[in-house]
């Protein structure tokens, strides 16, 4: 696989199964949508919405840390977002560079480990260098893992993983019959993360937009009309409340889960 995630954090047992019946989701995955519309309704350029969106991401990271969330994964740029006007893509790349430069000290202060998924090489050498440096500097942080999805697509992830396993079979390092769900999970770019417990999408659209397709199989989904720059502590509390009211059955009956 072209881009490798860092090795797993040693937390004793790290299962890809979402954790059952916990009050606080262990892993929260977010599609931060609605930046452009937030700006447009205010008569501003779309890029102003992206700028505000970074502030919301910073705020949510801190809220998750306080709530005891161990993994936060943010969808920042999809493999389809290259289809946007070139000026917007250029602005997003510059914003990515300045965020990587400016946020590292805050991540260090808060003991947050930075992880990146997606093929970020097309953003250029500067981004590659900053990602490498940020990963290295925050590597031993243990309070929370913040994963940023950059040029990420769920189909890209699955395709890469399948290619990696097929290569291993060709090279006789494994056989096709060795492939099971756990091996495929580990070959994904999220192989070092548990599956998300709670998925949040802002911006009113009820779709996944090619986010973590495999990993969201049993995740609790929460959609809100609130546009990303408006997503506040109150909205996050609503998402946590909704999560706590869900009964995660994983195919079992309700009675089986409660006893
Ligand atoms: C999400 O906000 C940020 C990115 C996809 C980079 P949008 O830019 O998609 O905002 P809307 O959906 O157009 O309002
Ligand atoms: C999803 O938002 C991607 C990110 C938030 C990075 P989009 O705005 O790209 O999704 P669609 O195009 O409305 O499905
Ligand atoms: Mg959008």
Decide: 135 in ligand 1 pocket, CB within 6 A: no
Q: What is the pLDDT of residue 259?
A: 84
Decide: 36 in ligand 1 pocket, CB within 6 A: yes
pTM, full prediction = 0.93
State the Cα–Cα distance between residues 80 and 83, nearest whole angstrom: 6
Q: What is the pLDDT of residue 22?
A: 65
| CA 201 to chain centroid | 12
**Ligand in nearest proximity to the CA of 92:** 1
Q: What is the pLDDT of residue 258?
A: 92
Intervals of the chain under pLDDT 70: 1-22
Quick check: 123 and 48 in contact, CB under 8 A? no
Half-sphere exposure of residue 246, counting CA atoms within 13 Å on the CB side? 23
Question: Using one digit for the tens of pLDDT, what is the confidence trace for 191-202?
Answer: 999 999 999 999
Q: What is the pLDDT of residue 21?
A: 52
Q: What are the start-end ranges of the H helices in the chain?
A: 35-40, 46-67, 86-109, 125-138, 154-170, 181-187, 233-245, 254-258
State the Cα–Cα distance between residues 170 and 155, nearest whole angstrom: 22
To test the pocket of ligand 2, the residue of 30, 57, 81 to mutate (highest count of ligand atoms within 8 Å of its CB) is 81
Atom nearest to 76 CA in ligand 2: 6
Taking each helix axis from N to C terminus, what angle separates 46-67 and 86-109, rounded to the nearest 10 degrees?
30
Q: CB neighbours (10 Å) of residue 72?
A: 23
């Amino acid at each position: 696989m072209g881009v490798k995630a860092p090795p797993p954090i040693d937390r004793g047992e790290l299962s890809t199964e979402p954790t059952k019946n916990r009050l606080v989701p262990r892993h929260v995955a977010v599609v931060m949508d609605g930046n452009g519309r937030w700006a447009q309704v205010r008569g501003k350029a779309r890029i102003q919405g992206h700028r505000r969106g970074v502030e919301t991401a910073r705020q949510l990271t801190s809220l998750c840390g306080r709530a005891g969330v161990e993994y936060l994964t943010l969808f920042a740029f999809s493999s389809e977002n290259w289809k946007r006007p070139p000026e917007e893509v250029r602005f997003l790349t510059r914003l990515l560079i300045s965020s990587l430069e400016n946020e590292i000290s805050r991540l260090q202060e808060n003991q947050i480990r930075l992880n990146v998924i997606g093929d970020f090489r097309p953003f250029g050498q500067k981004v590659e260098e900053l990602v490498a440096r940020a990963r290295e500097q925050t590597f031993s942080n243990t309070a929370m893992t913040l994963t940023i999805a950059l040029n990420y697509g769920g189909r890209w992830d699955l395709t890469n993983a399948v290619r990696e396993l097929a290569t291993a079979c060709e090279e006789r390092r494994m056989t096709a019959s060795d492939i099971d769900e756990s091996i495929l999970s580990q070959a994904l770019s999220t192989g070092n993360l548990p599956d998300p417990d709670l998925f949040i999408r802002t911006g009113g659209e009820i779709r996944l937009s090619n986010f973590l397709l495999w990993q969201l199989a049993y995740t609790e989904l929460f959609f809100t009309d609130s546009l990303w720059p408006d997503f506040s502590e109150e909205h996050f509390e609503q998402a946590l409340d909704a999560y706590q009211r869900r009964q995660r059955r994983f195919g079992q009956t309700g009675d089986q889960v409660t006893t």
